[in-house]
Amino acid sequence: MGEPSMDPTISAADSTAQQDSLFSMTDVFLISLITGLFTYWFFFRKKKEEVPDLPKMQSVAAPVRDSSFIEKMKKTGRNIVVFYGSQTGTAEEFANRLSKDAHRYGLRGMAADPEEYDLSDLSRLSEIDKSLAVFCMATYGEGDPTDNAQDFYDWLQEADADLSGLRFAVFGLGNKTYEHFNAMGKYVDKRLEELGAQRIFELGLGDDDGNLEEDFITWREQFWPAVCEHFGVEATGEESSIRQYELVVHTDVNMNKVYTGEMGRLKSYENQKPPFDAKNPFLAQVTENRKLNEGGERHLMHLELDISNSKIRYESGDHVAVYPANDSSLVNQIGEILGTDLDTVMSLNNLDEESNKKHPFPCPTSYRTALTYYLDITNPPRTNVLYELAQYATDAGEQERLRKMASSAAEGKALYLSWVVEARRNILAILQDMPSLRPPIDHLCELLPRLQARYYSIASSSKVHPNSIHICAVTVEYETKTGRLNKGVATNWLKNKVPEQNGSSSLVPMYVRKSQFRLPFKPSTPVIMIGPGTGIAPFIGFIQERAWLKQQGKEVGETVLYYGCRHEREDYLYREELARFQKEGVLTQLNVAFSRDQAEKVYVQHLLKKNKENVWKLLNEGMAHIYVCGDARNMARDVQNTFYEIVSEFGNMSQPQAVDYVKKLMTKGRYSLDVWS
C-alpha cells in the first residue's frame, strides 16, 4: 500500500501554482477567523465574565461569613473578641473568663478559637465601635504555638496586613523552667505592633512554674481599668454569676444517641475510622504492661499499645497522647455528696445560640460519663470556680471564705495559695471540707475544666515496631498537707490497663502528636543523649533505630547515652536492653549516674563534666547532636549550664560566648529538648 498517486495530466508548475493559490486562500480564511475570535474575546469576554462575577462573589460569601468573626460580632452585638491558643485548656478558660467580664463594663465579649476563623479579618475590627481583640496565647514545647494557633502563627509570619485600626492586648501563658519562656505571647504582642496595631495594655506573662492563676488575676485587674480609660466607660456593677449553659434532662432518650466517653463523633469508639487525631482518637489495645523497677516505693512501667490497622504513622521522638479516665471512686463520692443520680442523662446547651461551642463537653451524656471522661476533678479548681460556687454555701463563714479566695485582695490570694493550691485540694476535697457547700451538679459540670489528654515521649522506633507504640511512665502518688492520698489520673489509670484476660481487652484512646525531637538526617552523625529517669523513653526509640540502620548496612556514628536513676538495684530502667545494645556495638558509650547509691549524690551533669574532653571532641569535631529529655526545672537547666562550662573551657570562650555558642546549636537543631516540669 503506497501513497495515493497524483493525476499525471497536472504539470509540476501548475501543481505549484495551484498550491500557492490554495495556501493563500487558506491563510486569509484562518487569519480572518483568528482576528474575528480575538476581537470577540477582547470586547465581549469581560462583559460575559463580569455579569456572573457578582452572583459568584455573593454565592462564595456565605462560607466566608461562617469563618468571619467580624460578621458574627456584628450579628450578635459583640465588640470584644478574645482569641485563645490553648493546648491544655487553660488559655481557653482564661479567654472565657475575660469574655464574660466584658458585660460589667457595658461591653459584650466572645471567646474564639483562631483555628475556626479567618484572622486576616483583624484589619476590619475597627468597623465595630469600641472594639478590642485580646489574645490569650500559651506556648507549647520549645517556644512553639499550640496546635490550634499554628495557622494564626503562620499567618502572622507571612502577613503584610495593615492593622492600624486594631486595638489589642496579649496575655501569655508559659513556664519559666523552659528555655523559650512565653515565646508565643511575646511574638504575638510584638508582631501585632509591627503590623500597626495599637496596644492598649501591656503584655501579661503568666508563669505556670509559679502561680499562673495569680499572674492572670493580677494582670486582669489592671487590664480592665485600662480598657475603661481607653473607651471612656465605667464598670456597671459587681461581678455576677451568669450561667453560660442551660440544663436539659432527658427522661426518654434513645441510648444509641448518648455519648459514653467519645471525644468527637458519636459511636466513634464502636465504629473506628481514620485519620485519628485529638477529636478522633484510636482505641489501641494494651498488649504489654510490665513493671520496670525491681524495688522502691514507686511504680515504673512499660506499656505497649497495638496500632495495627490504624494507619497511624510515627517517628522516633514523637509523642503519644492518651485520654485517661478519672477514678470511679472519686466520681461516686462526688455523686454521693451532692445527692445526685449520676446515671441521669442530660445536656448542657449554650444559651448563646450563635456560639460555635454548643456544649461544654459532648452531649447528651450522663453525669457519670461527664465526671469520668470529660471533666477534670483532680486538679485544684481556679478562683473563678470558687466564686461561682460561693453562692451555694449556706454557711456564711464558708461563703465568705470562698469569695475571699476568689478576690484580688492580697489576703484572698494568700488564702487561695495556701488552702487550695499548696494543700492540693481538688473539688471533692473542697466539698468535703465545706459541708454547707452543695452546688447543683449541672452548674458544677459547667464550671469544671475539661479533662485533658496526657502526652508521653514514645519509647520505640517505628522502623522496628511499626505496629506498636511503647510508653515508659512512673505512677504519680503523693500525700497532701491535709493527709489525703492524691493519685495521678493517667498514670494510675494506665497502671491498671492489663493485656487481654478472659477475652476482655484493655483499650486506650490515643493519637500521635508530631515532634521536632528528631535523630540527625545522616546516621553517621554522632549523638549525645541525656535522659535520667523516664527521660530515657525517646532514647530507647533512638537506639532501636540506630541498631536497625546498622543492620541495613548504614554507617552509624557514635551513640552516647547519659542515663540516671536513684539506685542501681531498684530503678535502673531497660537495663538488659541497654546492655544488649552496648554489646552489639550500637550504644558506643553508656554512662549511668546512680544518685543515691553513695553519700554524695551523682547526677548526669556530673558524668558529663567527668567526660568533658570526649564531649567537646564529639561536639566540635564530630558535629554531634545533643538531646535532653526529662525534668525541665532542675536537670535540663543543670545540663545546659554544664555544656556552657565545657564549651567555655575547651573552646577558649568567655561565658557569654559559650552561652551564645550553645544557643546557636539550638537554632541549628543540634541541641534539642523534650522536657516537662
CB 176 within 8 A of CB 210: yes
Would you list the DSSP string of 84-109? EE-SSSHHHHHHHHHHHHGGGGT--E
Q: Hey, what amino acid is at 41? A: W
Question: Is 224 designated active site?
Answer: no
Question: Is 228 designated active site?
Answer: no
Which residues, other chains included, contact 435 with Cβ-Cβ below 8 Å and sequence gap of 6+? 395, 398
Instruction: Return the SS3 of 120.
Output: helix
Q: Which of 99, 457, 462, 515 is catalytic?
A: 457
Report residue 499 as a C-alpha cell. Answer: 493485656
Question: Is 457 designated active site?
Answer: yes
CB 43 within 8 A of CB 72: no
Q: Which of 419, 493, 616, 676 is catalytic?
A: 676
The strand pairing partners of 171, in sequence order, are 136, 204
Give the CA radius of gyration of the chain: 32
Q: How many CB atoms lie within 10 A of CB 578?
A: 20
Q: Which of 86, 113, 629, 631 is catalytic?
A: 629
Which residues, other chains included, contact 140 with Cβ-Cβ below 8 Å and sequence gap of 6+? 87, 146, 147, 184
Question: Is 629 designated active site?
Answer: yes
Q: Find the helix or strand (DSSP H, E) in which 170 lies.
A: strand 167-174
Q: Find the helix or strand (DSSP H, E) in which 73 lies.
A: helix 69-76
Instruction: Return the SS3 of 230.
Output: helix
Report residue 446 as a C-alpha cell. Answer: 459547667
Which residues, other chains included, contact 394 with Cβ-Cβ below 8 Å and sequence gap of 6+? 436, 438
Instruction: Return the SS3 of 359.
Output: coil
Q: Return d(Cα 544, Cα 465) in angstroms, integer.
A: 9
The strand pairing partners of 676, in sequence order, are 631
Burial class (CB in 10 A: 0-12, 13-18, 19+), 327: middle
Could you give the residue numbers annotated as active site?
457, 629, 674, 676
